[in-house]
Amino acid sequence: MTTAPPERVAELEIETLDAKHADALVEHFERCTDYFETVLGHPPGPAERQSTFIALPEGKTYDDKFTFVFIFESKVVGDLDLIRDYPESGEWWLGVLLLDPSIRSMGLGSDILEAFSNWVAENGGRAIRLAVASKNPEGLRFWQHRGFVEIERKENVPLGVWRDDLIIMRRPTDEEP
Ligand SMILES: CC(C)(COP(=O)(O)OP(=O)(O)OC[C@H]1O[C@@H](n2cnc3c(N)ncnc32)[C@H](O)[C@@H]1OP(=O)(O)O)[C@@H](O)C(=O)NCCC(=O)NCCS
């Protein structure tokens, strides 16, 4: 059990990902082709949609996976994925935070991060961890500016059509950005 997740951030409504969002999620990914091309070297396809619904790190169950979509004017304009107690108890893994290009750089990503960081803390998470591909310097800068610190670098990891370094970052949930 968890406390109720945030229901709204600014103008965006937040819903838990459900089968009813499948088509809208695909349309969202297509609008975010820039991100998939940057990180994976190919446009989004069925594998990306499927993994949003079903991907789980080894040893975790669906009780630990929390995937949210952000809705504006009936469209999915963002998604966020969190795994509780991964890779270790008390740390939550942020798998993805992806916003529609038309709503980036307006402060929404920061507001979403802080709302969910508080929710993670409420539910026993002491820190959030994530991985950024070195081919995504804008993503890296976003997390650095929000107080995330590199704790590890995984070199030459297979990612889409190529290999890339993954920068593992962490921020305690009680730390103000
Ligand atoms: C990364 C991402 C989630 C960040 O969300 P965002 O809403 O664009 O980020 P914000 O607007 O909160 O912050 C971005 C910058 O805009 C600035 N900003 C904040 N409010 C602003 C406003 N009202 N007007 C203009 N700029 C603003 C912030 O200061 C920030 O700059 P800084 O990092 O130099 O401090 C989003 O850009 C995205 O989905 N990118 C593609 C996917 C991606 O790379 N995800 C991360 C993978 S690890």
Q: Which residues contact residue 17 at a Cβ distance below 8 angstroms, ignoring those fewer than 6 apart?
A: 25, 52, 53, 67, 68, 69, 79
What is the bridge-based pairing of β-strands 75-83 and 127-133? unpaired
Query: Which atom of ligand 1 is nearest to 108's Cα?
Result: 7
Percentage of the chain surpassing pLDDT 70? 99
Q: Each residue of 32-82: pLDDT tens digit?
A: 999 999 999 999 999 999 999 999 999 999 999 999 999 999 999 999 999
CA of 80 to the centre of ligand 1 (A): 14
- Third-level CATH fold of 8-172: Aminopeptidase (3.40.630)
- Centre of ligand 1 to C-alpha 112, Å, is 10
The reported pTM is 0.96
Alpha-carbon torsion angle 137, 138, 143, 146, nearest 10: 130
Q: Cβ of 7: how many Cβ atoms within 10 Å?
A: 10
* Ligand 1: centre distance to CA 111 (Å): 10
User: How many CB atoms neighbour CB 156 within 10 A?
Assistant: 10
Q: In this predicted model, what pLDDT tens digit does every residue of 93-129 receive, in sequence order?
A: 999 999 999 999 999 999 999 999 999 999 999 999 9
Tell me which of 81, 96, 110 to substitute to probe ligand 1's pocket, judged by most ligand atoms within 8 Å of the beta carbon: 110
The whole-angstrom separation of Cα 32 and Cα 140 is: 17
Atom of ligand 1 nearest to the CA of 110: 12
Domain assignments of the chain as residue spans, ordered by start: 8-172
> Which whole-number Å values give the CA distances from 100 to 25, 46, 121, in the listed order?
11, 18, 27
